[in-house]
Amino acid sequence: MISIAKQVIEYFAKTGKKISIIDLKIDDKTMINEKINCFVTVYLKGEVRGSAGNIKELKDNAIEEIIENTIAAISKDARFQPVSPAEANELKIRIDKISDRTLLKDKSIKTLDPTKVGVIAIKNSYEKMACILPNINPKLLSGEDFINVLKEKLQEPKFNENEYIIYEIKTEVFTSY
């Protein structure tokens, strides 16, 4: 997965275009037949430089999902300017493949351990959505910490769990560092 993301970044940094699957060197051919949902996070000098992903499978296979999310992470994350060609070679990559998603209904988000699980919060009206990946931020030490991050991501002055559909998620993590 990381090899594919690196090739996507290199090609996009040089051309500004999406690489074709046939131009990729793919070591794990099983990804051609596997549907996944994943998040790609890129770091520059230890800081997040971009992130993108989906909470459900949107593409036909894992490779297309990684291509789309990698391009979005380096060029479409609204928090950042697009990654420059000079920065592209210095990026570190983390890919979170969602391996388990469970509707949180009998417990509070405050009881979760952010070092082991993440959350997806979807406003009941489906107008807003935010995802916090497991062990993504060293400042997230307790379930209580999820609340402040969700308020920021959702641009809400307060976070009321009853107004959201909340999933607890677990991921399989792949990194280039």
Every domain of the chain and the residues it spans: 2-97, 98-171
| pLDDT for the residue numbered 141 | 93
Domains 2-97 and 98-171 share a fold: no
pLDDT in tens, 67-114: 999 999 999 998 899 999 999 999 999 999 999 999 998 899 999 999
- Are 44 and 79 in contact by the 8 Å Cβ rule? The answer is no
CATH topology of domain 98-171: Dna Ligase; domain 1 (3.30.1490)
Specify the CATH architecture of the domain 2-97: 2-Layer Sandwich (3.30)
- How would residue 137 be classed by pLDDT, with cut points 50, 70 and 90? confident
Given a cut of 90, whether residue 7 has pLDDT beyond it is: yes
* Contacts of 165 by beta carbon, 8 Å cutoff, 6+ apart: 103, 121, 122, 123, 124
